[in-house]
Chain A
Amino acid sequence: MEVNVGFLARRRSGSISVRTHELRCDVIHFGRSADSEVHLADPRISQHQATLNETHDGFRFETQLEGDVVIDGVATSEAAIKPGSVIQLGPYEIKIIESQEGVDLSLTVELTEPMAEELDELKARNKTSLDKAWPNRRSVSWVLALLILGLFLAWPVGKHYMERDNQAATPSPMEVVEMGDRVWPVAGDLAWDTGEVSTPHKFLAKNCSVCHRNAFEQVTDAVCVACHEKTEQHVDTKNYPLPEITQATCQSCHKEHQGPAHIVRNDQQFCAECHLDIKSVAKELDLGPASDFGANHPEFRPMVMVNGRTKKRERMTLDPKKWPVEKSNLNFSHVQHLDPKGMRVPNKVARQVMDCADCHVAEATGEYMQPITMEKHCASCHLLQFDARAPDRTVVHGSVELTMRTMREFYATLALEGGARAPRASSSGRRRPGSALTENARREAVAWADRMTAQSAQQVFGKAVCKTCHIVTQKTERGRIKWNIEPVTVAARWLEKGKFDHVRHESMECADCHDAKKSKKATDVLLPKVATCQKCHAGENATSKVASTCVTCHAFHLPGKQPMRPGLVKSAKRKK
């Protein structure tokens, strides 16, 4: 067959050049091989890619592999072709065109998809910068920043508003407990926790918005007084409107998120600001200057009973020249009771040696001593007998009236029973048993009992029993003596403004501070002077003594003063 093959080449200008070959053969081979009739010199073409044959009814184009060629838009391995057919063979486009006279077939061949520039392709494939690889700086930065802002800012803020609106204004401690523990990350704001909450407040440590109510607002005093409504002031702010006190907030002195210890402002400088020259703040107050326990602290001034009957107490200085006298109306000698040879004990031969702890026992708190009572501490020795003939009979402690009645009943019974136990009783005492008492005899018996009662009362009240410990007075009313025991008021606490823990000082001897072994009278105020404390304690900067600041012994919130924030208590409650 006669075949015309036109190789088309497009110039940059757009014009097309044609290089024509005339072939005479039975089969046309298309391939990269140099012996191909149609030589296609492109690496993407195989050496013998396709053939074109003449058949009885036209021409067929064939390749070895199915889909290796696209003929008139159909991917195939062989197809009949005719003028107008378009064959896409790899990067080449082969068009069958109308033939001239004497030519069986005419076709054009054009490289429509030339190979890209190797350099451009290589550059496009190469990834020589880490920024082009994954993960790169930009994506990691975005992910990290969004993760942090979402998890540690947006989520906690949202959660705060969601939860706060479901809460009472300031929940009570039990309400907080019932809220239960919140956990991170559900409770996102827990990631904001700046430090451990103090032990007393731990029960609310996981519920931030109990205290942190409003965004960008410091925890208000209203939150504190919702629970601590009774906390008292330091001074009467009406008379002493000191800005240091009235303008301070709870947080000025009490810090949270500082670990288990309860952080309280306790520097002595804070107190010394006023107390160094307390007269300039409140000249009418009877207070001495104080700024450092070791260097500048006034002598102790106990509240001493000056009148046991009216219970009037006065603040007095422990002045050696004019030592205070406690008029508690008690007679008592420490010397006698602490006799190293011991005390006589009723119904026992051996003497009993006593020590302080037999009577003085600290309360569990250590701050107070347990009260001393007649029944518990005195009665085992001090038997309240009134008649030697009846040593088992005692009067009642604490009531003159009951004592008188007990004695009168005793003697009246004796008079009525008669016999040797009442030798001076009237004749009534010698009547025949079963015979009725005459009116005369009855009067005699009563008179005898009254006489005996009065005699014993004189002995019990006036001389021996009560008077041992008590101040007893008497007056005559309608010819009868009325006995009176002056009430005893033993101080529960002399130094009311300071706290002292006996338990924490138990390693010391009582006598180290209390000179009881020389005390003969109950009027002795057996307190140590401040110098005694200063032997071991000094101010907060002490290095070789126990460093003690003001609040070691003194409270800031003073009992009896008005509440710290009375207005806020009301408003906090109203919100509930």
Chain B
Amino acid sequence: MAVTQSSETEQGAPERLGVLQEPVISSGNYKYLKLALTLILISIAAYIYDEPLGQPNGGTWIGYTLGTVGALLIVWLGWFGIRKRRYGTGGMMLQEWLSAHVYLGFSLIVIATLHAGFQVGLNVHTLAYVLMLIVILSGVWGIYLYIALPTRMSESRGGITLDQLVVLIADLDKSALGKSVKLGDDINDLVRDAVENTTIGGGMVRQLSGRDPSCPTARALERIGELVKSLSGGDAATGRQLVVDLARKNRLLTVARLDVKYRAWLNLWLLVHVPATVGLIAALIAHILSVFFYW
């Protein structure tokens, strides 16, 4: 539906987000900024010119016109969510689409407000209006995140991807198991728990916090650190190497979880933006049908 993607392509998403910066703002020599400003000016002029019977609202000729333009814009901008999954196939580049999405999205604030004649109430019509504002404002939040976060993300990962981090962690697991199999049951159980039950990410809170307070690896590191002190001979050497493995894994987990955290925040606005868009389209259908149902 919207700006991010299926899990396979997602891993590389932050790198691609560079497109969200200057080319979006200035795409096509500010073509869509100009188009949006033109739309806004025409709407304001028409609104001022019109003197309907009663208060200005969606039921006047200007109201119907602004409403139609607004509804078409919403559907077209919503189409972006589907369109961008197949970017590169149409005549328009993704940056161009996104540029149109941003500027024309902003113009909707003016068009819809004038369409409503500044009237609000506790009804399905204002529900659609409020959802539209939520969509637009969450979009603004998204733009901010897409500009601010990717740099921080690649800095924290030190140039490797989350996929590579996971592979490194799995390697350390294998190595730790190879060592713990030679050691006592207590150590072996802790390592096995760390290998089998450590997760990166998880539920919404885990992903957004970037922490796992009950991480089996952290637990194993802490306890085995104590247990190896009582080992002797070859076991002691194996134990120390095991602690090193676990400590490295723990560090990698912290980095991976921070990456997941950024990734989650980068997607959280979409959790607002996309459902609000779908809700807006539903409310828009209800709004349009109800207005003409009770004409």
Which residues does chain B contribute within 8 Å of A153, judged by CB atoms?
285-286, 289-290
* Interface pair A145/B271, CB less than 8 Å apart: no
Count B interface residues, CB 8 Å. Answer: 75
Which residues does chain A contribute within 8 Å of B174, judged by CB atoms?
118
Let me know if A218 is at the binding interface, CB within 8 A: yes
Which residues does chain B contribute within 8 Å of A212, judged by CB atoms?
293-295
Let me know if A273 is at the binding interface, CB within 8 A: no
Among residues of A, the one whose C-beta sits closest to the C-beta of B292 is: A216
The distance in angstroms between the C-alpha atoms of A194 and B278, with both chains bound, is 23
* Interface pair A152/B202, CB less than 8 Å apart: no
The distance in angstroms between the C-alpha atoms of A44 and B286, with both chains bound, is 59
* Interface pair B54/A255, CB less than 8 Å apart: yes
* Interface pair A134/B204, CB less than 8 Å apart: yes
Let me know if A156 is at the binding interface, CB within 8 A: yes
Let me know if B264 is at the binding interface, CB within 8 A: yes
* Interface pair A119/B286, CB less than 8 Å apart: no
* Interface pair A47/B185, CB less than 8 Å apart: yes
* Interface pair A218/B263, CB less than 8 Å apart: no
Residues of B contacting A: mostly: helix
B206 to chain A, nearest CB (A): 8
* Interface pair A195/B127, CB less than 8 Å apart: no
Let me know if A141 is at the binding interface, CB within 8 A: yes
Q: A129-B267, A133-B207, A192-B294 are in contact. Are A144 and B282 (CB under 8 A)?
A: yes
Which residues does chain A contribute within 8 Å of B2, judged by CB atoms?
137
Which residues does chain B contribute within 8 Å of A156, judged by CB atoms?
290
The distance in angstroms between the C-alpha atoms of A32 and B264, with both chains bound, is 42
Which residues does chain B contribute within 8 Å of A142, judged by CB atoms?
278
Which residues does chain A contribute within 8 Å of B207, judged by CB atoms?
127-128, 130, 133
The distance in angstroms between the C-alpha atoms of A191 and B10, with both chains bound, is 41
Interface-facing stretch out of B14-22, B98-106, B189-197: B189-197
The distance in angstroms between the C-alpha atoms of A115 and B124, with both chains bound, is 57
Interface size, A (range): 35 or more
Q: A129-B7, A130-B271, A253-B53 are in contact. Are A152 and B127 (CB under 8 A)?
A: yes
B residues 123-180 with Cβ under 8 Å of A?
123-125, 127, 162, 166-167, 169-171, 173-174, 177, 180
Give A108-134 as 1s and 0s: 1 = Cβ < 8 Å from B's Cβ atoms. Answer: 000000010111011101111111111
Let me know if B199 is at the binding interface, CB within 8 A: yes
B residues 240-295 with Cβ under 8 Å of A?
256, 259-260, 263-264, 267-268, 270-271, 274-279, 281-283, 285-286, 289-295
A456 to chain B, nearest CB (A): 69
* Interface pair A118/B170, CB less than 8 Å apart: yes
B217 to chain A, nearest CB (A): 11
Which residues does chain B contribute within 8 Å of A263, judged by CB atoms?
53-54
* Interface pair A47/B201, CB less than 8 Å apart: no
Of A132, A140, A192, A193, which contacts B293 at CB under 8 A? A192
* Interface pair A129/B10, CB less than 8 Å apart: yes
B162 to chain A, nearest CB (A): 6
Let me know if A364 is at the binding interface, CB within 8 A: no
Which residues does chain B contribute within 8 Å of A149, judged by CB atoms?
282, 285-286
Among residues of B, the one whose C-beta sits closest to the C-beta of A143 is: B275
Of B123, B125, B171, B278, which contacts A145 at CB under 8 A? B278
* Interface pair B201/A145, CB less than 8 Å apart: no
* Interface pair B121/A193, CB less than 8 Å apart: yes
Let me know if A162 is at the binding interface, CB within 8 A: no
Let me know if B26 is at the binding interface, CB within 8 A: no
A residues 225-270 with Cβ under 8 Å of B?
253, 255, 258-259, 263, 265, 267
Which residues does chain B contribute within 8 Å of A42, judged by CB atoms?
181
The distance in angstroms between the C-alpha atoms of A157 and B286, with both chains bound, is 10
Let me know if B184 is at the binding interface, CB within 8 A: yes
Let me know if A472 is at the binding interface, CB within 8 A: no
* Interface pair A127/B293, CB less than 8 Å apart: no
Let me know if A46 is at the binding interface, CB within 8 A: yes
* Interface pair B199/A191, CB less than 8 Å apart: no
Among residues of A, the one whose C-beta sits closest to the C-beta of B167 is: A119
B residues 207-247 with Cβ under 8 Å of A?
207
Which residues does chain A contribute within 8 Å of B185, judged by CB atoms?
32, 46-47
* Interface pair B286/A126, CB less than 8 Å apart: no
Q: A118-B173, A127-B203, A141-B279 are in contact. Are A217 and B295 (CB under 8 A)?
A: yes
Q: A125-B199, A137-B2 are in contact. Are A43 and B191 (CB under 8 A)?
A: yes
Which residues does chain A contribute within 8 Å of B200, judged by CB atoms?
122, 126-128
The distance in angstroms between the C-alpha atoms of A136 and B207, with both chains bound, is 13
The distance in angstroms between the C-alpha atoms of A382 and B283, with both chains bound, is 79
* Interface pair A127/B167, CB less than 8 Å apart: no
B204 to chain A, nearest CB (A): 4
* Interface pair B204/A148, CB less than 8 Å apart: no
Let me know if A74 is at the binding interface, CB within 8 A: no
The distance in angstroms between the C-alpha atoms of A118 and B195, with both chains bound, is 7
Give A20-53 as 1s and 0s: 1 = Cβ < 8 Å from B's Cβ atoms. Answer: 0000000000001010000001111011000000
B32 to chain A, nearest CB (A): 26
Which residues does chain A contribute within 8 Å of B188, judged by CB atoms?
32, 43, 46
B197 to chain A, nearest CB (A): 8
Instruction: List the interface of chain B (C-beta within 8 A of A).
Output: 1-2, 4, 7, 10, 51, 53-55, 57-59, 119, 121-125, 127, 162, 166-167, 169-171, 173-174, 177, 180-182, 184-185, 188, 191-192, 195-204, 206-207, 256, 259-260, 263-264, 267-268, 270-271, 274-279, 281-283, 285-286, 289-295
Excluding A42-B181, A126-B201, 19 further A-B contacts by CB distance (< 8 Å) are A44-B192, A47-B184, A47-B185, A118-B174, A119-B166, A123-B166, A127-B202, A127-B203, A130-B267, A131-B7, A141-B1, A142-B278, A144-B276, A148-B124, A149-B286, A191-B122, A194-B58, A194-B123, A219-B295
